[in-house]
């Protein structure tokens, strides 16, 4: 199996790349100029400088079986100057990659979406502009589904966590406040969390890649799958678990901040999961692996 992978410098991408290499998959990473893949020396890279014709020629030469597309720009609440970056990353680059995949006769293209395309559990209702650009790429992809044989599918992620996560997210924020004792104002904390451990996330990608490669008839063209956590808990319950596992008391002032204007109280529930995959890492176990270990092992 020969794969073109975007987003390998990110949290999910770096874990997935490690796993694909372990499995003996031939991977080429498509990176931006200056992107840091220095910890993965030896993996071939293609630096995309915006030249779509060059990328199409490269794809035609390389004959990839499939493309795994993880690269994305996430902006929670956009400012007006974020609009061009969101369109360029999530629509222009994504369409460029899909065009090249089709020109190179790749068999499949695995896209990455978000639960936030499904606010209030609707077939489509974007939480934010980021989620709207993710959906818009699926809209564009419909053209390629209609006019080529490529199997385009989308894995939709919600929250993810695990070792080596450099993003500023809730668990690392808690770790810092737990250590410093500095009080942390939070919302009411009743929103349900769907937090999937990185090992489960990676397993979903690998499983789906194999199913696509085998042209498994269960994987209909254009389908989406949810990468969901093994359990859903409220933010308050998550904090209680975190306190138990790490043996610290979190200095949280619950209810000191309002919920966000489009706070997701119940994450998307109706998405199907990848056939033959299920989340295996419990929250307790995942937090232990990530935060209870000595600092040197957290990979940050």
Sole binder of a copy of itself in the list 42, 44, 61, 147 (CB under 8 A): 147
Should residue 21 be labelled a site residue for a copy of itself when binding is judged by CB under 8 A?
no
Among 42, 80, 249, 296, binds a copy of itself (CB under 8 A): 80
| Residue 56 in contact with a copy of itself, rule: CB under 8 A | yes
Among 3, 8, 129, 264, contact with a copy of itself (rule: CB under 8 A): 129
User: Which of 23, 36, 121, 124 lies at the binding interface for a copy of itself (CB under 8 A)?
Assistant: 124
Strands 159-161 and 195-197: parallel
Q: What is the DSSP string of 61-125?
A: HH--SEEEE------SS--GGGHHHHHIIIIIIHHHHHHHHHHTT-SEEEEEEEGGGBGGG-SSB
* DSSP single-letter state for residue 39: G
Closer Cβ to a copy of itself, 42 or 261, answer by number: 261
Q: Is 114 in the site for a copy of itself (CB under 8 A)?
A: no
Of the pair 9, 128, the CB lying nearest a copy of itself is at: 128
Q: Which is nearer to a copy of itself, 72 or 246 (CB)?
A: 72
Q: Does 208 bind a copy of itself (CB under 8 A)?
A: no
**Contact 29/97 with Cβ under 8 angstroms?**
no
Stretch that binds a copy of itself, among 17-25, 98-106, 162-170, 208-216 (CB under 8 A): 98-106
Q: Is the Cβ–Cβ distance between 219 and 288 less than 8 Å?
A: no
CA–CA distance, 168 with 150 (Å, rounded to integer): 36
Tell the smallest beta-carbon distance from residue 231 to a copy of itself (Å).
30
Residues 31-50 that bind a copy of itself (CB under 8 A): 50
Q: Is 220 in the site for a copy of itself (CB under 8 A)?
A: no
Give the C-alpha separation, 2 to 22, whole Å. Answer: 14
From the CB of residue 30, how many other CB atoms can be counted at a distance below 10 Å? 24
Residue from 16, 67, 100, 283 touching a copy of itself (CB under 8 A): that is: 100
Residues 6 or more apart whose Cβ sits within 8 Å of residue 252: 174, 177, 183, 184, 185, 186, 189, 239
| The Cα angle at residue 120 between residues 114 and 122, in degrees rounded to 5 | 75
- Check residue 96 for interaction with a copy of itself (CB under 8 A): yes
Cβ contacts of residue 298 below 8 Å, gap of 6+?
Answer: 163, 164, 290, 291
Residue with tokens 């979406």: 113
Q: Which residue's CB is nearer to a copy of itself, number 104 or number 178?
A: 104
137 binds a copy of itself (CB under 8 A): yes
- Shortest gap between Cβ of 67 and a copy of itself (angstroms)? 15
According to CB under 8 A, which one of 27, 131, 201, 203 is a site residue for a copy of itself?
131
Asked whether position 53 contacts a copy of itself by CB under 8 A, the answer is yes
Within 221-280, the residues that bind a copy of itself by CB under 8 A are: 261-262
Buried b (16+ CB within 10 A) or exposed e, 104-141: bebbbbbbbbbbbbbbeeeeeebbbbbbbbbbbbbeeb
Give the list of residues 6+ apart from residue 278 with CB closer than 8 angstroms, or none: 230
Q: List residues near a copy of itself by CB under 8 A.
A: 50, 52-53, 56, 80-81, 83-84, 87-88, 91-92, 95-96, 99-100, 103, 119, 124-126, 128-129, 131-133, 135-137, 139-140, 142-143, 146-147, 261-262
């Amino acid at each position: 199996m020969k794969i073109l992978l975007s987003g390998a410098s990110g949290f999910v991408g770096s874990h997935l790349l490690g796993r694909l290499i372990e499995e003996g998959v031939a991977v080429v990473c498509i990176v931006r100029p200056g992107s840091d893949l220095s910890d993965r020396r030896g993996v071939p890279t293609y630096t995309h400088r915006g030249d779509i014709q060059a990328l199409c020629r490269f794809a035609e030469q390389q004959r990839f079986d499939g493309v795994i597309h993880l690269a994305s720009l996430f902006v929670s609440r956009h400012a007006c100057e974020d609009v061009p970056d969101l369109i360029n990353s999530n629509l222009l680059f994504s369409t460029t990659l899909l065009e090249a995949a089709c020109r190179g006769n790749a068999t499949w293209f695995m896209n990455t979406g978000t639960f936030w395309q499904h606010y209030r559990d609707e077939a489509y209702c974007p939480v934010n502009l980021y989620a709207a650009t993710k959906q818009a790429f699926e809209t564009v992809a419909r053209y390629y589904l209609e006019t080529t044989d490529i199997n385009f599918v989308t894995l939709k992620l919600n929250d993810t966590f695990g070792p080596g996560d450099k993003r500023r997210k809730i668990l690392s924020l808690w770790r810092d406040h737990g250590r410093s004792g500095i009080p942390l104002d939070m919302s009411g904390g009743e929103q349900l969390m769907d937090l999937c451990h990185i090992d489960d996330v990676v397993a979903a990608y690998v499983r789906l890649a194999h199913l696509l490669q085998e042209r498994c008839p269960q994987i209909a063209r254009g389908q989406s799958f949810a990468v969901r956590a093994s359990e859903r808990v409220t933010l308050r319950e998550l904090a209680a678990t975190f306190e138990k596992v790490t043996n610290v008391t979190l200095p949280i002032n619950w209810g000191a901040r309002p919920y966000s204007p489009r706070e997701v109280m119940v994450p998307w529930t109706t998405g199907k999961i990848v056939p033959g995959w299920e989340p295996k890492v419990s929250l307790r176990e995942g937090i232990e692996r990530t935060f209870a270990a000595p600092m040197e092992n957290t990979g940050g």
